[in-house]
């Protein structure tokens, strides 16, 4: 046990010090908020975007560099993201469409990216998230695109094909699925409800511990949690946040088959809401392409990337649904279109394509 100095102030004195510091913090935060309101007026006058994720990243990077401790950089980041979110809400509240109801991982990803002051719009499915964002009822949308265990979210890929929105950011979320129900026991569970991806990510655990329970797909994990409140024989796979929201017990913690299970969420918006972010040190550019159905066509797609030193990080295919066995290819490459070698590769690649669309360029989350 650590020996503490004998001349430490007593607890009452320390609390008085903390109360005084809190008042100073509150005063400084309100000073920052007043300046943020002025920033908002300048942005209105100049017609510039209110939310700039690159600016948020710059501020947080400076804060982390200047941080002397003992606060950890991860904690400082969380604090400053909330400060900036609250100040942005004074400039112009950001409406963000997410998969609902309250308690989804999609909601959690939105809060991580935009902060807790964002005005969240809850949608029944990803189709509605895309529609709300494209129609302008939400300025931004958050959609799942890939899971480290189960791969891509195919519905999102299909929706990207025809949407006018583009991708301006991403959130990579560590996903822990808990078994939730009205009682704190595994006894008597007849139905387990969750989004199909979550059911797949927990299939090993479910087969071992609840082999006879029906696995019922629903629109979201939080929707499953909501339904689990209505029947003691039903359970759901969902987050800690959903357990708190719906007053459910966590009958078993972190039951996903992969302990490091992660889901990647894309931040989407219309180009007029926010254009392509400026280059960072580590960017991703997403594409959708198709090529004529002829020998070597797919191979030829890769040649411009190799010739110009551009690395491809993802290659997925989805049927074009024409009845002709044609496909759209979803490609992620490293780099920003403003970089000369990337621009040259994209120009050459485009000349080979029957269909070509840039999904967006954004900083990669490590």
List pLDDT tens digits, range 224-275: 999 999 999 999 999 998 999 999 999 999 999 988 889 999 999 999 999 9
| CB-based burial label for 54 (10 Å; 0-12, 13-18, 19+) | middle
pTM of the entire predicted model: 0.82
- Average pLDDT over every residue of 339-355: 94
Minimum mean pLDDT among 109-118, 123-132, 139-148, 322-331: which range?
322-331
Give the per-residue pLDDT at 9.
Answer: 81
Q: How confident is the model at residue 152 (pLDDT cuts 50, 70, 90)?
A: confident
Contact 177, 259 (CB under 8 A): no
- How many Cα atoms sit within 13 Å of 159 on the Cβ side? 25
Give the per-residue pLDDT at 324.
Answer: 59
| Residue located via tokens 């982390």 | 64
Is the model's pLDDT at 284 over the cut of 90? yes
- Average pLDDT over every residue of 182-203: 94
Q: Considering only residues 309 and 60, tell me which one the structure prediction assigns the higher pLDDT.
A: 309
User: Residue 180 and residue 225: Cα distance in Å, rounded?
Assistant: 7
Identify any residues that bridge with 360 across adjacent strands, giving them in sequence order.
167, 286
Give the per-residue pLDDT at 43.
Answer: 84
- Average pLDDT over every residue of 10-38: 92
Q: Which of 318, 273, 293 is nearest to 159 (CA)?
A: 318
Is the model's pLDDT at 325 over the cut of 70? no
How do strand 234-238 and strand 178-181 relate by DSSP bridges? antiparallel
Identify any residues that bridge with 314 across adjacent strands, giving them in sequence order.
332
- Average pLDDT over every residue of 68-75: 91
Give the per-residue pLDDT at 1.
Answer: 44
Give the per-residue pLDDT at 3.
Answer: 59
Is the model's pLDDT at 2 over the cut of 60? no
- List helix spans (H) across the chain: 11-46, 53-66, 73-91, 105-114, 126-135, 154-162, 196-201, 203-209, 221-228, 240-246, 297-307, 340-350
Is the model's pLDDT at 67 over the cut of 90? yes
Is the model's pLDDT at 7 over the cut of 80? no
- Average pLDDT over every residue of 316-326: 74
Q: Say whether 311 sits in a helix, a strand or coil.
A: coil
Q: Which of 147, 111, 112, 103 is nearest to 262 (CA)?
A: 147
- Average pLDDT over every residue of 339-352: 95
pLDDT digits (tens, 9 = 90+) for 211-228: 999 999 998 999 999 999
Q: How many CB atoms lie within 10 A of CB 351?
A: 9
- Average pLDDT over every residue of 334-356: 94
Q: How confident is the model at residue 5 (pLDDT cuts 50, 70, 90)?
A: low
Q: How confident is the model at residue 308 (pLDDT cuts 50, 70, 90)?
A: very high
The pair of structure tokens assigned to 256 is: 């996903």
- What lies within 8 Å, CB to CB, of 354 at 6+ separation is 290, 291, 292
Q: How confident is the model at residue 151 (pLDDT cuts 50, 70, 90)?
A: confident
What angle is formed at CA 94 by the lines to CA 84 and CA 39, rounded to 5 degrees? 50
pLDDT digits (tens, 9 = 90+) for 72-81: 998 998 899 8
Contact 334, 309 (CB under 8 A): no
Q: Which of 118, 70, 75 is nearest to 97 (CA)?
A: 118
Is the model's pLDDT at 154 over the cut of 50? yes
Is the model's pLDDT at 323 over the cut of 80? no
């Amino acid at each position: 046990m650590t020996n503490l100095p004998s001349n430490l102030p007593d607890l009452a004195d320390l609390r008085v010090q903390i109360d005084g510091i809190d008042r100073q913090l509150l005063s400084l935060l309100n000073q920052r908020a007043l300046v943020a309101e002025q920033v908002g007026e300048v942005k209105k006058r100049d017609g510039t975007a209110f939310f700039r994720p690159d600016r948020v990243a710059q501020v947080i990077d400076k804060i982390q560099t200047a941080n002397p401790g003992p606060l950890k950089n991860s904690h400082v980041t969380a604090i400053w993201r909330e400060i900036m979110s609250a100040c942005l809400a004074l400039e112009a509240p950001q409406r963000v469409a997410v998969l609902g109801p309250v308690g989804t991982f999609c909601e959690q990803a939105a809060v991580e990216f935009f902060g807790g002051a964002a005005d969240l719009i809850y949608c029944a499915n990803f189709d509605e998230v895309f529609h709300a964002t494209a129609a302008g009822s939400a300025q931004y949308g958050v959609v799942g695109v890939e899971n480290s265990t189960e791969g891509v979210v195919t519905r999102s890929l299909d929706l990207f094909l025809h949407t006018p929105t583009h991708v301006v950011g991403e959130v990579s979320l560590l996903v822990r699925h808990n078994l939730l129900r009205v009682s704190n026991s595994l006894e008597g569970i007849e139905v387990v409800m969750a989004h199909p991806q979550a059911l797949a990510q927990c299939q090993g655990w479910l087969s071992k511990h609840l082999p006879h329970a029906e696995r019922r797909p629903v629109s979201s994990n939080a929707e499953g949690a909501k339904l689990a409140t209505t029947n003691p024989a039903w359970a759901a796979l969902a987050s800690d946040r959903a357990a708190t929201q719906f007053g459910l017990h966590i009958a078993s913690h972190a039951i996903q088959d992969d302990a490091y299970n992660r889901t990647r969420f894309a931040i989407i918006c219309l180009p007029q809401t926010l254009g392509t972010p400026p280059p960072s040190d580590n960017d991703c550019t997403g594409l959708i392409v198709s090529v004529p159905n002829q020998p070597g066509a797919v191979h030829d797609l890769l040649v411009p990337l190799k010739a110009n030193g551009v690395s491809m990080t993802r290659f997925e295919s989805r049927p074009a649904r024409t009845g002709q066995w044609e496909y759209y290819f979803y490609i992620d490459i490293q780099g920003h279109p403003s970089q000369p070698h990337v621009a040259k590769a994209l120009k050459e690649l485009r000349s080979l394509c029957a269909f070509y669309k840039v999904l967006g360029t954004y900083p990669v989350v490590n």
